[in-house]
Copies of this chain bind each other. A is one copy, B any other.
Amino acid sequence: MARWQPDARGRLEAAALELFETGGYDGTTAAQIAAHADLTERTFFRHFADKREVLFANQSGLDETLAGAVRAAPPGMTPAEAIGVGLRAAGERLQPRRDVLVRRAAIIATHPELQERELGKLAAYSATLADALRERGVPAGVAEVAGVAAIATFRVAFERWTAGDRPFPDVAAEALADLGATFGAVGREGAPGD
């Protein structure tokens, strides 16, 4: 019954994943998560607004890692190259949490409400990334489109990374190359079929 509770947040996350996996997301309450982590419900709510946020709050800061790396990328880099640097930085941050993130992804995949929440979080990342691109001198309109497309690509890379066994930088680079191969010719004047 130690009163000092190291890493309450991490313990609550671990307990939530276990209970969501065994009893289902819908059947699990915040009180059960707290009890499973040997903490009080009050402690739970000091860390998380509700049981859903246990899955999302620990992701916070990832957008700043990504945007910070984009800002700090060498000035000579193109926007796409800077985005590549940002995705690698995000990947380095994600790597140590891979096992937890694979389990988290499996839980989110079972609930449309959780998937929508995940998409909402990622949409916010797009705006943060667009800000970083603007700071690099990218025009606002271009930065907005680049931000949403880059985060959509990040989402695909993230899904491939949790579903397979390849390192995040590899899947991210491949996805960015696919993006370039598909849309690289759009800027040209006149389509072949015209």
Binding site for B on A (CB under 8 A): 74, 76-81, 84, 112, 115-117, 119-120, 123, 126, 138, 141-142, 144-146, 148-149, 151-153, 155-156, 174-188, 191-193
Verify B182–A74 contact, CB threshold 8 A. no
This chain's copy number in the assembly? 2
Given A119-B120, A141-B178, A180-B187, do A193 and B77 touch, yes or no (CB 8 Å)? yes
CB distance from A194 to the nearest CB of B (A): 9
Contacts of A138 in B (CB 8 A): 182
Contacts of A175 in B (CB 8 A): 145
Verify B141–A174 contact, CB threshold 8 A. yes
**With A152-B152, A183-B184 given, can you name 4 additional A-B contacts, CB distance below 8 Å?**
A81-B186, A141-B178, A148-B153, A149-B153
Verify A186–B145 contact, CB threshold 8 A. no
Verify B116–A178 contact, CB threshold 8 A. no
Contact of A123 among B119, B186, B188, B191 (CB under 8 A): B119
CB distance from A1 to the nearest CB of B (A): 40
Q: How many angstroms from the CA of A138 to the CA of B119 in the assembled complex?
A: 25
Verify B181–A187 contact, CB threshold 8 A. yes
Contacts of A179 in B (CB 8 A): 145-146, 149, 183, 186
Contacts of A119 in B (CB 8 A): 116, 119-120, 123
Which 3 residue pairs across A and B have the least CB separation, nearest first?
A: A180-B186, A184-B184, A119-B119
